[in-house]
Structure 1
Amino acid sequence: MGSASTSSARAVFGMSQVASTYPRHVAIIMDGNGRWAKKRRLPRALGHKAGGDAVKRVVEACEVLGIECLTLYAFSSENWKREAEEISDLMNLMRRFIEANIADFIAKGLRLRIIGDYKAFDPDIVERLEDALERTAGGKRTLVVALNYGAQQEIVRAAALAAAEGEVTASAIEKHLYTADLPPLDLLIRTSGEVRLSNFLLWQSAYAEMLFTDVLWPDFGQAELRAACEEFATRERRYGGR
């Protein structure tokens, strides 16, 4: 994948059938904005801006590659621990990204979905997000953005809702996950060389294929996503079977 080819990507979990097509649902932990900026002796804010440009490239690549659903880990529930200045930069980037891309999303038939407690953000951001959700509701492909999201919190929330309805079972929990109406997760990618899930889609990743690449997120694009999909297509998915 780019500077880190599929041979350098490290797979976790094997999964029945050799996949003959690209994944329907890809999730990405977008990591490496800060390191990208540091390597260039630039402010972290410019690393995040470059990361926003990568988001646009990858969204466009999904259309080219026929990927139905893309889920991006944009802001975790733990990111509030970062410096106030960096959080402010991220919030401003979110505002600009919505303004700059909403018309294109509508034109390309892309439906925006948010998972996580996005209402904890500033009121103007919440208003922009909800306007974008409404205006893109008719889209055929889906861009899911995880904002103020934590997988452990999601599972606790789903289990509590299941308990309120009766017996807590796997199917009852799944019904209350944020992703209940989305295709099952096929492929999870993490950029920047880190090999962990960081509290992202823990339930949904149970039988997903995983791929970790050394490419920093701002350098990730169509070539890297295509390579990841080609790697996915070679894997035998067993779902716990032999």
Structure 2
Amino acid sequence: MSAITPTSLLTQPLGQLATTIAGATGVFHQYKLDFCCGGKQSLADALAKKGQDATPVLVALQQLQHQDAELPEWRSQPVKALIEHILERFHQRHRRQLPELIRLARRVEHVHANDLNCPTGLTQHLEEMYQELESHMLKEEQILFPMLAGGIYPAGPISVMEEEHLQHGDALAILDELTNNITLPQDACNTWTALYLGLKELKEDLMQHILLENEILFVQPKTIAKDDDRQMCCGSCQ
């Protein structure tokens, strides 16, 4: 994409920047800017809420614009291809991640219960996250995704999924609170280290998952409307 001025960067929504500038999500993770559930807010508004100086974020984003690395441009790919990517890259991955993270968290809470840094309550929170996320993914797999693959974009089900995405964002915020922003204590054992490494991966994956759905998959392509218009014409233009 062509270079964007700092002023233009500030006025664009985080979700749009995350899906058009390769590597932007890494910058947003670094500065704790919510680009998935909070993807509709502008970069300027997000920075203001955090009290964050805009300069280092803008410099990092402009540097990325000059790099050759490119993310897959899912907006130009068939909807079915994006759905398959989400199913394989995120749905199945979450189903592998969470049971193991729950096991590790249970072990850490048991062994280090007397440690002031122990993430007490993390196991229960992860179990609740897994239950909610599994229910969410099943609804997508059984109801919404087949409709989207068929060119149908139902406003009601999409709104429900977007609302649940906000709840997932809240769950990630609680995860940060329980783990001091997933920060390891200096004397952390290997199990604790593996747990927090996995939590960081889960957080990044879930945010990327939500971003792709909110900003690309759930947005009805303009070609759908054109196809509908063509089907409604008298046929003389065929």
TM-score normalised to the size of structure 1?
0.23
The answer to which structure has the higher strand fraction is 1
Larger radius of gyration: 2
User: Which one scores higher on RCO, CA 8 angstroms, separation ≥ 6?
Assistant: 1
Please give the TM-score of this superposition, normalised by the length of structure 2: 0.23
Structure number with higher helix proportion: 2
